[in-house]
Amino acid sequence: MASKATSIDIAYRAGVSQSTVSRALRNSPLVNLETRQRIQAIAKELNYKVDKNASNLRTQNSHTLALLLCEDPTNDDSLINPFFLSMLGSITRATAQQGYDLLVSFQQLSNDWHADYEDSNKADGIILLGYGDYMDYEQKLERLLAQNTHFVIWGAEHNNKSVLSIGCDNHQGGLIATEHLISLGRKAFAFLGDASSHSPEFRDRYLGHVKALQTANIPVDRTKQVSAISTESSGYDAAMVLIAQGAKFDAIFAASDLIAIGAIRALKEKGISVPEQVAVVGYDDIPVASFANPPLTTIKQNTQLAGEILVDSVLKLIRGQEVSAQLIPTTLVVRSSCGIDSAPLKPLSLA
């Protein structure tokens, strides 16, 4: 007696993955029509029957959430932004407290997040952390919405109100960081970080920075905004660009702590003292910020509260409960990278 055909047999004959077979047999639009029809024809030829018991199991909750981390590309894929590690710890604890397990992926396994996680019953909902390039990321969010996936993102509020976002008040963070520098008497400001639509969180930090300068009647010099991703090497390179172009500045607001730490290294290499000649403020309050030389003044994001809200929000979506976007307030952590002198030295001029 011939053995009963399985989805693995169909996948082998069709030259596709088992998950693609599963979706095709459910007439999922995620599989193109030609492939769907080919798989269904093979299933009919093999007299394949869907196991209804297994199918019913797949419709039940897995009591698992998926955390997908999408970072800026770097030369070393083993490096992970310490801020995201802190968020990971908070989300893991909050998930456990709710009686759920957590799947973690530090890469995009495919272009089809929905099929890889919720649709295959690996997870009941998804938390998305980090962006990479937001313009690419946005298209994937629209696809998740089209598939009615339960998901929440950490970051800036999305233009599409159907996308649930939880994030830090980046505008406020940029505002209070710059206000602190202004209160110390700094007059010539540089901003290191991507301020374009590709990086909405950095952009909001930049807009808060600009608002503080405008309120204090300090001119905003767009030439002293240098793009950088959240790595020390990118911060180092951005600071070197400022120095090479002979910019005049006595304060740097960096869009992340890693950028700030890289910038400080560049300044020191060029014999520029921090904070005597240039004050530096970062963003995130990662653990290494307090051990930098000098210790880094920064904007703190409450990662414990963030993890709790993210998990609570995605579980409300799963349960069909009402939930809304939230902005978490930031706080300023003052250390010696800014100094305490209210009358700093004359702005650095390398012209």
pLDDT at 335: 96
CA pair distance 121, 166, nearest whole angstrom: 24
| CA quadruple 84, 90, 96, 102: dihedral, nearest 10 | -10
Q: Please list, in sequence order, all residues whose beta carbon lies within 8 angstroms of the beta carbon of residue 337, skipping any fewer than 6 positions away.
A: 260, 264, 274, 275, 279, 280, 281, 282, 292, 294, 295, 296, 297
CA pair distance 84, 92, nearest whole angstrom: 12
* Three-state SS at 282: strand
pLDDT at 77: 55
Query: 0.85 exceeded by the pTM?
Result: no
Residues of the chain scoring pLDDT < 50 = 1, 52-53, 55-59, 109, 341-347, 349-351
pLDDT at 53: 45
Q: Where are the alpha helices (DSSP H) in 18-51?
A: 18-25, 33-45
Structure tokens of 2?
Answer: 């011939």
Give Cα 194 distance to the centre of its chain.
14
Residues 110/47, Cβ–Cβ less than 8 Å: no
Structure tokens of 146?
Answer: 């089209």
**What Rg, from alpha-carbon coordinates, does the chain have?**
25
pLDDT at 7: 83
Half-sphere exposure of residue 187: CA atoms within 13 angstroms, side-chain side: 9
CA pair distance 118, 208, nearest whole angstrom: 37
Angle between helices 33-45 and 18-25 (to 10 degrees): 90
Residues 131/70, Cβ–Cβ less than 8 Å: yes
Count the neighbouring beta carbons within 10 Å of the beta carbon of residue 191. 29
Name residue 69's beta-bridge partners.
Answer: 129
pLDDT at 187: 94
